[in-house]
Structure 1
Amino acid sequence: MDLAKLEAFACVAELGSLSKAAARYGLVPSALSRQLSALETECRGRLLHRTGRGVSLTELGERILPKARALLNDAKSLEAEISESAGTVRGTVRIACLPSIASSLMTKVVSEARKALPDVIIHASEGLSGNIEQWLATGVCDLGFVLRKGAGCVFEQPVAKIQLCLVGPPGDPLTQDETIPLARLAGVPVLQPGAPNAMRLSLEHTARQHGFSWNVVAEMESVALTKEMVIAGVGYGVLSMASVLPEIQRGRLSAACIVEPVLERPIYLSASSTRPSTVAVRHVSRLIREAAQELAPAMGWTFPAEGLDLAPEDGALDAD
């Protein structure tokens, strides 16, 4: 069976869109569709439901996808072993990054990888912690950043501990100082992820401990959308300083770190348990840790991150 067709099928299943997958491969959708049709002929059945909103897996596709991924991983592992025996570090390393650190950290990692690992291609994607845990478990990515330990990954190495801030529009009186006590946020209109998001649950638990409930005026599952809503004056955000630093520098947002108590969030670098641990993956993992350490002072991160084994109910905030 043609591995290229299997890889195209896995890519379409991952993205849920024929056009997005075609763009990743630099193909027109019709060319990719022909590859998938040929694979379906070999499999003697439909693998994908094609609709106007995208694609979804058929029952046959659900059965075949895990085996296709396993076969692709075996092929990549063999390719990596051959290149390693030749003394060359090569291959593609797929990294899933949190929005709060994506632009700053990944820019540096990719830049350093181009110099130190010229034959390694980094494929970066962005998602919230829960999505990344799922991608790691299913082998969609090699490395990913998660906000809790015990996510079923090969390892969880702490790379940073990030303090949360109240984020408001520029010149806002609540965010004009460097810090703001948590008690002052009672009644303040905020934007938070929808329940049962772990960050939402943890923030609610912390607020109850301090005698108030959050005034959630809208639920946002996107950091970018949250920032735009804050700029528009809809409500305040509770985000990391790293995630809003570019907007603060451009004068579009302001932020005050929450204190009394300090709300901190650990970030762990994890590896997928279903993808081969190649030399390229291990080299990139090292680059990520080095980049995080170098960026820590400028981004307001704590590094090395000590004492991060906090459960969500004890204050570790599991969202981005």
Structure 2
Amino acid sequence: MREGQSSSLQGWVADRRVDLAVVYNQPPLDAFLVRPLYTEPMILIAPPGTALPKGGYQIRDLASLPLILPGMPHSNRRVIEHAAVQNGIRLRIELEVDSVALTKKLVKAGVGYSILTSIAIRDEVARGEIVAEPIKRPSIRSSVALTTLREQPMSRFAIAWTEMLREKLVQFMGNENWKEDVVWFDDKQAASRDSG
């Protein structure tokens, strides 16, 4: 098993250094077979004590905020940039930081705002270390998927590992009392996405 950023993991699958990868926001590429697991909203995080606008943040509000985001080609940055372009806004990037832990520390210290997945910020929000607000109209969603090479059949080990991963995710999310905003893909939905 190896850990890395989604772009690195995709390269390792392509180079056959790993059999499969769990990645965020896999771009559609012919070489990869992508089996979606779930999506979750990306959340704007702000320093503690920040007054939130009435009605929450809209995507156009991002243009005026000093943002701390990962550098390209980080998968979260690609999704956020794509949403900005679709909505005709230019982001104000103050710092490029790939580390989620460092990003949260910088936001907590008042350096700027960031956009992270809901699971990445649960503990800090619960402790009151940062303020979090969903981005609405439209929301930005992050997807998590299993990625393999399309031309390479999965080994028995990879199939067993995939089944174990799905079971563990269901247990974890059941224990964590996740909100309804996480959208699951069951095996049938994933299979229909595979063939499309």
TM range, normalised to the smaller chain?
0.7 to 0.9
Shift of 1:246: 2.2
AA in 1 matched with 2:178:
A
Distance 1:247 1:298 in 2: 16
Which of 45, 66, 74 is the aligned partner of 1:167? 45
**Which position in structure 2 is the counterpart of 1:223?**
100
Deviations 1:216-249 (A, max 9, x none): 1011122222112111211111110111112222
Q: After superposition, where does 1:92-131 map in structure 2 within 5 Å?
A: 94=1, 125-131=2-8
CA contact (8 A) 2:5 2:74 kept: no
Q: Secondary structure at the match of 2:129?
A: coil
Which deviates more, 282-291 or 202-211?
A: 202-211
Distance 2:136 2:163 in 1: 33
Distance 2:168 2:150 in 1: 24
**Which position in structure 1 is the counterpart of 2:183?**
302
Identity within the alignment, %: 27
* TM-score, scaled relative to structure 1: 0.50
CA contact (8 A) 1:159 1:292 kept: no
AA in 1 matched with 2:123:
P
Shift of 1:157: 1.0
Distance 2:40 2:84 in 1: 19
AA in 2 matched with 1:304:
F
**Which position in structure 2 is the counterpart of 1:243?**
120
Q: Secondary structure at the match of 1:244?
A: helix
Distance 2:15 2:22 in 1: 15
- Number of residue pairs matched by the alignment: 184
Distance 2:60 2:90 in 1: 10
**Which position in structure 2 is the counterpart of 1:27?**
none
**Which position in structure 2 is the counterpart of 1:99?**
none
CA contact (8 A) 1:191 1:220 kept: yes
Q: After superposition, where does 1:269-288 map in structure 2 within 5 Å?
A: 269-271=146-148, 277-288=154-165
**Which position in structure 2 is the counterpart of 1:292?**
169
More helix by share: 1
Distance 1:151 1:128 in 2: 20
After superposing on structure 2, the runs of 4+ consecutive aligned residues of structure 1 that deviate more than 4 Å are 196-199, 272-276, 305-309
Q: 1:235 to 1:138 in 2, by over 3 A?
A: same
CA contact (8 A) 1:178 1:255 kept: no
Q: Secondary structure at the match of 1:172?
A: coil
Q: After superposition, where does 1:64-103 map in structure 2 within 5 Å?
A: 94=1
**Which position in structure 1 is the counterpart of 2:21?**
144
Shift of 1:151: 6.7
Q: Which runs of 5+ in 2 are unaligned?
A: none
**Which position in structure 1 is the counterpart of 2:58?**
181
Q: After superposition, where does 1:192-231 map in structure 2 within 5 Å?
A: 192-197=69-74, 199-231=76-108
Distance 1:282 1:178 in 2: 45
Distance 1:157 1:267 in 2: 9
Distance 1:238 1:158 in 2: 22
* TM-score, scaled relative to structure 2: 0.77
Distance 2:149 2:30 in 1: 10
Distance 1:185 1:275 in 2: 42
Q: Secondary structure at the match of 1:282?
A: helix
Higher relative contact order, chain-length normalized (CA < 8 Å, sep 6+):
2
Distance 1:208 1:138 in 2: 32
Distance 1:182 1:276 in 2: 41
- Larger Cα-atom Rg: 1
Shift of 1:167: 1.1
